[in-house]
Amino acid sequence: MFDKVLKIIVLLLIVSNGILAQEKRINYWNDSTGMIKEQASITFNQIDKVLDFYKPQVGNSEIRKLALFSLDVLLHDTRNDNGAPLRSFINKRIHNIISELSSDKIKKGYKIYKLYNHGFVVRTPSITFGFDIVSGGKKGDPFISDSLISELVKHVDVMFVSHHHGDHADRSVANIFVEQHKSVIVPPALWENQSERIKHVRGSTIYGKALQLPSEKLGIKVLPGHQGSKVLNNIYAITTEEGYTFVHTGDQHFKDDLKWISSINDSLKVDVLFINGWTTHLEEMIAGFNPKIIVSGHENEMNHSIDHREPYWLMSQRLNEFDAPHILMAWGESFKQN
Residue range 207-222, pLDDT digits in tens: 999 888 999 999 999 9
Whether residue 14 has pLDDT greater than 70 = no
**What stretches of 77-232 show up as alpha helix (H) in DSSP?**
84-103, 146-153, 171-179
The beta strands (E) that lie in the chain are given as 110-114, 120-123, 128-131, 158-160, 183-186, 198-200, 205-207, 219-227, 231-239, 245-248, 272-276, 293-297, 326-327, 333-337
Q: Give the count of beta carbons closer than 10 Å to the beta carbon of residue 52.
A: 14
Going by pLDDT thresholds of 50, 70 and 90, the confidence category of residue 223 is very high
The arithmetic mean of pLDDT across residues 69-94, rounded, is 96
The arithmetic mean of pLDDT across residues 114-121, rounded, is 98
Residue range 276-335, pLDDT digits in tens: 999 999 999 999 999 999 999 999 999 999 999 999 999 999 999 999 899 999 999 999
Number of H helices, E strands in the chain: 9, 14
In this structure, the dihedral spanned by the alpha carbons of residues 313, 318, 319 and 320, taken in order and rounded to 10 degrees, is 80
Select from 3.30.360.10, 3.60.15.10, 3.40.50.1970, 1.10.3720.10 the CATH code of 105-331.
Answer: 3.60.15.10
Whether residue 263 has pLDDT greater than 50 = yes
Which residue ranges make up each domain of the chain? 105-331
Residue range 123-167, pLDDT digits in tens: 999 999 999 999 999 989 999 999 999 999 999 999 999 999 999
Residue pair 130/112 in contact by the 8 Å Cβ criterion: no
The arithmetic mean of pLDDT across residues 107-122, rounded, is 98
The average confidence (pLDDT) of the chain is 93
Residue pair 256/230 in contact by the 8 Å Cβ criterion: no
Going by pLDDT thresholds of 50, 70 and 90, the confidence category of residue 20 is very low
Q: Name 140's Cβ contacts closer than 8 Å, sequence gap at least 6.
A: none
Specify the range with the lowest mean pLDDT, choosing from 5-9, 89-93, 114-118, 161-165: 5-9
Straight-line distance from the first to the last Cα atom of the chain, in angstroms, rounded to the nearest whole number? 61
Whether residue 87 has pLDDT greater than 60 = yes
* 191 vs 24: which has the higher pLDDT: 191
In this structure, the dihedral spanned by the alpha carbons of residues 200, 205, 211 and 212, taken in order and rounded to 10 degrees, is 180
CB-neighbour burial class of residue 207 (10 A; exposed 0-12, middle 13-18, buried 19+) = middle
- Identity at 43, one-letter amino acid code: T
Distance of CA 249 to the CA centre of its chain: 14
Predicted confidence at residue 21, as pLDDT, reads 46
Predicted confidence at residue 24, as pLDDT, reads 75
Predicted confidence at residue 204, as pLDDT, reads 87
d(CA 60, CA 329): 10
pTM of the model: 0.92
Whether residue 6 has pLDDT greater than 60 = no
- Percent of the residues in the chain that have a pLDDT greater than 70, as a whole number: 93
d(CA 322, CA 157): 34
Predicted confidence at residue 4, as pLDDT, reads 53
Whether residue 97 has pLDDT greater than 90 = yes
Residue range 25-58, pLDDT digits in tens: 889 999 999 999 999 999 999 999 999 999 999 9
